[in-house]
């Protein structure tokens, strides 16, 4: 079993910064891909950024150059550094681990609310 817990969300002003954390526990040795997703009211969930076991990263065009995804394997924690935040970044942010346990399984955190407003 894998459990993910997001933290770090909150209210920030436009142009501000926020650092989200995703703490993982359980059997995550065979994680193939980690990522951050977000969902705003009335919109579909969208991929924000991913990081693979190799360290290779991928970003949505809307956040490229502003957000940075990283991980600390020793702490079993994934991060999303969010800079130059815009009101359109307001959403619930979810972390996701794709873990191979004979078959591939998706694990989701509960989400953390990010609100960007003046």
Please give the pLDDT value at position 60.
98
- Asked whether 108 and 96 are in contact (CB, 8 A), the reply is yes
Please give the pLDDT value at position 98.
95
pLDDT digits 0-9 by tens, 42-91 = 999 999 999 998 999 999 999 999 999 999 989 999 999 999 999 999 99
pLDDT (mean) for 32-48: 96
Please give the pLDDT value at position 75.
92
The candidate with the shortest Cα–Cα distance to 105, out of 97, 113, 94, is 97
pLDDT at 7 over 90: yes
> What is the rounded average pLDDT for all residues in the chain?
96
Query: 1 falls in which pLDDT band (50, 70, 90)?
Result: confident
pLDDT at 101 over 90: no
Please give the pLDDT value at position 102.
86
What b/e sequence results for 28-45 when a residue is b if at least 16 CB atoms lie within 10 Å of its CB, and e otherwise? beebebbbbbbeeeeeee
In angstroms, rounded to a whole number, what is the distance separating the alpha carbons of residues 32 and 18? 26
Percent of the chain with pLDDT over 90: 93
């Amino acid at each position: 079993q894998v459990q993910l817990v997001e933290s770090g969300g909150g209210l920030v002003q436009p142009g501000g910064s926020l650092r989200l954390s995703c703490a993982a526990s359980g059997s995550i040795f065979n994680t193939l891909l980690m990522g951050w997703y977000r969902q705003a009211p009335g919109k579909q969930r969208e991929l924000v950024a991913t990081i693979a076991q190799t360290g290779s990263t991928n970003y949505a065009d809307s956040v490229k150059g502003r957000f940075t995804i990283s991980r600390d394997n020793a702490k079993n924690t994934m991060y999303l550094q969010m800079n130059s935040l815009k009101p359109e970044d307001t959403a619930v942010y979810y972390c996701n681990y794709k873990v191979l346990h004979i078959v591939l399984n998706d694990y989701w955190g509960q989400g953390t609310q990010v609100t960007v407003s003046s």
